[in-house]
Amino acid sequence: DRIEVLRGPQGTLYGRNTTAGLVNVISNAPTDLLEGALGLEMGTYGRRKVDGVINVPVNEALSLRAAISQLRQDPFLKNGQGTPHRPGMDRDERDARLSAKLKLNRDSTLVVRYDHGETEGNNDRIVPDTNFFTGVASGRPVWRDSTTDERLTNSFRPPNMTPVQGWHDRRARGLSADLSWDLGPATVYYLGSHRKLDQAIRQNYYYRVAPTLALGVVNNYDGHNEQDSHELRIATNGSGPLSAQAGLYYFSEDSNTSYAFQGLQPVGLPPYYSFPLHTQAQSKAVFGQLTWRVLDGLRLTAGARRTEDDKDRVGSTDFQQGPVFNPATDRRLPNAAELSTSRTTWRLGAEYDLALGTLLYGSLATGYKAGGFNDGCVAGAEIGGVACPAAAAVEQDYLYYQPEELRAWEAGLKSRLLDGRLSFNAAAFYYDYTNLQLSSNAIVSGAPRLLTRNAGQARSRGLELEGELRVGANGRLRYGATFLDAHYAAYNPNASVSWAGRKLDRAPSHVYTLGYEHRFHVLDGQLHAGVFSRRSADYAITIPSNLLEYRIPAHTTTDATLRYQPAAANWSLLARVRNLENSVRPSLIDSFGMATPTAPRTADLRLDLRF
């Protein structure tokens, strides 16, 4: 149906509290029309996709909608290790969704959705950071010139093991209910869901233990997650001077996971390491918001939310002492922690209709993201009735990280000018973070682990401009610019180093976007040709635990589309090319020197049929 993108913090009214923004993907609900569609795609890297949807009105009260899709794509990466294994960044996905819309009576509607998705493929999505940088061993990475094929080729062969064939099996399913009931003065809304996720992964993993030495391990993962969420909300109707909404929210998650790393020793012998973990989380909240229409065109808003989060985790780090796992002889270090945090967040806002089609707005809001824990236990804590041994205990400051908090100011303008031919939007913002949560990998007790720490303070300020201009009767010009200054105000990655004043990761000083689409009348039909380009300034990806900074140079990414639809026909044809420059960059670099690259240039052709 649509995708809503909202700037953060959006924790007052939307789901779980967070310091981030919000992306709402809202799927189409069943309608009272008998209709359907079929789509077929073929493209580079062996891309094949088929998707279809059918909508059936059963009677005046009930409508059904079913959608399916299957996507297959060959790997982007290339195997340069001299093994017969299939490399990663491939896709094999199957998805299905069934929806039912029931009009319970004139004033209430229930929409129930079930979705099921399965993914298979290779989880080996990494290449060495040296595919992109020189000088890594000296601690001063420098971007190096190379071809796209070279950047996408993993030629690293670890000295301690032979890589294995990686794979990934994922099965996700969910059931949701969306109820609205108009009571006259107010409408009651309920949104609830139950979701399950099962994953099994085997991947080759590499980590740098010294500037010039990297070892290989085989990572086996098995995970089972269940989530439940419920939101009950009531909102007033009518056009009076006051409008209000209030609600309750509950979320719970139960997770059973197990990681196992083989090959951590240079000769490939035990000990092996495994991390069986059982984690539970609950979040409860009450929220409300009031809007007062003070004058014609002037609206003031105030909202607040009280959130309570509880998390606990019981597990262990197991050091295998022989060729097979043996609980009687293996060394086990407990991982156990529990944490409860709570905050009251709030939002103040004002809107003013400056003129017809022009809106001024401003807001001050706070956000909160719950704290959590790393692996380990503190001395004296009990795990299954057994106290955490002092020899295995970690400091409390290491085990726990604190809630992240944000105070955000924003002011902006939204306008439609020249009889709707020109849209122009501008937004200025200032974000002040406290205890910003940063995650990275590190070696702890000889094994790779994910650590989350708090940075003292960070600040981000910027200006966003975007809009669209209709050019003549058949053209549309889209434009945008973002200017950003985001840096740490206080952060010490270790006891002797300060990163105060250093820019935050992935925070280019400016980004420009420009796109144009034109419509031509061809063969009694319409041909739409478009091009869209994005220019980004340079930015950094940092590894605080290693004091490394990888600087990604300025770059441009361009996409082009060509779509033809005959008049009075039920079909259309679309040709697309993404990343015309065929340039790739690291989207992620971990603490052990492994990079996940972006996608190279791809092209595809899509046929859509409607009936």
Position 311 scores a pLDDT of 95
Judging by DSSP bridges, how do beta strands 78-79 and 153-154 pair with one another?
Answer: parallel
Report which residue type is found at 175: L
CA distances from 188 to 78, 235, 258 (A): 54, 7, 42
Closest CA to 454 of 397, 534, 507: 397
Total residues found in the chain within this entry: 611
Share of the chain above pLDDT 90, in %: 72
Is 137:213 a contact under the CB 8 Å cutoff? no
Task: Locate all alpha helices (DSSP H) within 393-509, ordered by sequence.
Answer: 396-399
Position 22 scores a pLDDT of 63
Q: Given 3-state DSSP classes, what are the helix, strand and coil percentages for the chain, each rounded to the nearest 5?
A: 5, 65, 30
Average pLDDT, the chain: 91
Tell me, yes or no, whether 383 and 455 share the same domain: yes
For residues 115 and 526, what is the distance between their CA atoms, to the nearest angstrom? 35
**Average pLDDT for 181-189:** 97
For residues 399 and 414, what is the distance between their CA atoms, to the nearest angstrom? 46
Tell me, yes or no, whether 305 and 254 share the same domain: no
**Average pLDDT for 241-251:** 96
For residues 6 and 379, what is the distance between their CA atoms, to the nearest angstrom? 44
Judging by DSSP bridges, how do beta strands 586-589 and 91-105 pair with one another?
Answer: unpaired
How distant is the alpha carbon of residue 256 from its chain centre?
22
We report the CATH number of the domain holding residue 183 as 2.40.170.20
Indicate if the pLDDT at residue 381 is higher than 90.
no
For residues 430 and 408, what is the distance between their CA atoms, to the nearest angstrom? 6
Indicate if the pLDDT at residue 268 is higher than 60.
no
Tell me, yes or no, whether 193 and 77 share the same domain: yes
Position 193 scores a pLDDT of 97
Structure confidence at residue 397 as a pLDDT band (50, 70, 90)? confident
Give Cβ neighbours of residue 234 (< 8 Å, ≥ 6 apart).
Answer: 186, 187, 188, 189, 245, 246, 247
Structure confidence at residue 332 as a pLDDT band (50, 70, 90)? confident
- Tens of pLDDT, residue by residue over 354-374, are 999 999 999 999 999 999 998
Tell me, yes or no, whether 167 and 239 share the same domain: yes
Position 450 scores a pLDDT of 72
Q: Is residue 409 part of a domain?
A: yes
Share of the chain above pLDDT 70, in %: 92
- Phi and psi torsions of 545, nearest 5°: -65, -25
Is 318:277 a contact under the CB 8 Å cutoff? no
Indicate if the pLDDT at residue 554 is higher than 60.
yes
Q: Is 151 helix (H, G, I), strand (E, B) or coil?
A: helix
Position 80 scores a pLDDT of 94
Q: Is residue 50 part of a domain?
A: yes
What six digits make up the tokens of 133? Answer: 């940088």
What six digits make up the tokens of 387? Answer: 């106290």
**Helix or strand (DSSP H, E) at 527:** strand 525-536
Q: Which residue has the higher pLDDT, 392 or 107?
A: 107
Structure confidence at residue 579 as a pLDDT band (50, 70, 90)? very high
Task: Please state the domain count of the chain.
Answer: 2
CA distances from 135 to 31, 144, 540, 594, 598 (A): 59, 10, 16, 15, 22
Q: Can you give the residue range of the structural domain that contains 73?
A: 33-122+157-269
**DSSP structure string for 271-309:** PPEEEEEEEEEEEEEEEEEEEEEEETTEEEEEEEEEEEE
Tell me, yes or no, whether 228 and 294 share the same domain: no
Q: Is residue 516 part of a domain?
A: no
Position 162 scores a pLDDT of 86
Q: Which residue has the higher pLDDT, 595 or 391?
A: 595
Q: Is residue 493 part of a domain?
A: yes
Which residue reads 């050091």 in tokens?
Answer: 319
Indicate if the pLDDT at residue 69 is higher than 60.
yes
- Tens of pLDDT, residue by residue over 442-481, are 666 555 567 888 888 999 999 999 999 999 999 999 999 9
Residue 465, beta-bridge partner list: 426, 481
Tell me, yes or no, whether 58 and 84 share the same domain: yes
Among the three residues 504, 519, 543, which one is the final residue of a domain in this structure?
A: 504
Q: Which residue has the higher pLDDT, 477 or 327?
A: 477
For residues 437 and 372, what is the distance between their CA atoms, to the nearest angstrom? 10
Which residue reads 């922690």 in tokens?
Answer: 337
Is 157:127 a contact under the CB 8 Å cutoff? no
Q: Is 596 helix (H, G, I), strand (E, B) or coil?
A: strand
For residues 215 and 201, what is the distance between their CA atoms, to the nearest angstrom? 20
Dihedral angle at the C-alpha atoms of 236, 242, 245, 246, nearest 10 degrees? Answer: -120
Tell me, yes or no, whether 200 and 236 share the same domain: yes
Indicate if the pLDDT at residue 576 is higher than 70.
yes
By the 10 Å C-beta count (0-12 exposed, 13-18 middle, 19+ buried), 381 is classed as: middle
Q: Is residue 56 part of a domain?
A: yes
Q: Which residue has the higher pLDDT, 315 or 47?
A: 47
Q: Is 406 helix (H, G, I), strand (E, B) or coil?
A: strand
Indicate if the pLDDT at residue 423 is higher than 60.
yes
Tell me, yes or no, whether 286 and 357 share the same domain: yes
Indicate if the pLDDT at residue 192 is higher than 90.
yes
Q: Which residue has the higher pLDDT, 399 or 265?
A: 399
Closest CA to 38 of 50, 30, 27: 50
Among the three residues 504, 535, 568, which one is the final residue of a domain in this structure?
A: 504
Is 335:313 a contact under the CB 8 Å cutoff? yes
Position 123 scores a pLDDT of 84
Structure confidence at residue 377 as a pLDDT band (50, 70, 90)? confident
- Phi and psi torsions of 59, nearest 5°: -155, -170
Give Cβ neighbours of residue 283 (< 8 Å, ≥ 6 apart).
Answer: 16, 17, 249, 250, 251, 252, 307, 308, 309, 310, 370
For residues 507 and 36, what is the distance between their CA atoms, to the nearest angstrom? 43
What six digits make up the tokens of 304? Answer: 């607040």
Max mean pLDDT among 7-11, 123-127, 405-409 falls in: 405-409
Tell me, yes or no, whether 293 and 167 share the same domain: no
What six digits make up the tokens of 474? Answer: 């058949």
Is 402:368 a contact under the CB 8 Å cutoff? no
What six digits make up the tokens of 40? Answer: 């077929």
Is 173:114 a contact under the CB 8 Å cutoff? yes
What six digits make up the tokens of 286? Answer: 């009450």
* Largest pairwise CA distance in the chain: 81
Residue 303, beta-bridge partner list: 289, 347
Tell me, yes or no, whether 306 and 237 share the same domain: no
- Phi and psi torsions of 561, nearest 5°: -135, 155
Tell me, yes or no, whether 433 and 458 share the same domain: yes
Indicate if the pLDDT at residue 3 is higher than 80.
no
Indicate if the pLDDT at residue 75 is higher than 80.
yes
Tell me, yes or no, whether 102 and 188 share the same domain: yes
Among the three residues 504, 521, 549, which one is the final residue of a domain in this structure?
A: 504
Q: Is residue 587 part of a domain?
A: no
Q: Is residue 74 part of a domain?
A: yes
Position 380 scores a pLDDT of 78
Indicate if the pLDDT at residue 266 is higher than 60.
no
Q: Is residue 111 part of a domain?
A: yes
- Tens of pLDDT, residue by residue over 15-67, are 666 666 666 677 889 999 999 999 999 999 999 999 999 999 999 999 999 99
Structure confidence at residue 319 as a pLDDT band (50, 70, 90)? confident
DSSP 399: H
Q: What is the 3-state secondary structure (H, E, C) of 86-141?
A: CCCCCEEEEEEEEEEEEEEECCEEEEEEEEEEEEEECCCCCEEHHHCEECCCCCCC
For residues 365 and 431, what is the distance between their CA atoms, to the nearest angstrom? 10
Judging by DSSP bridges, how do beta strands 594-597 and 555-566 pair with one another?
Answer: unpaired
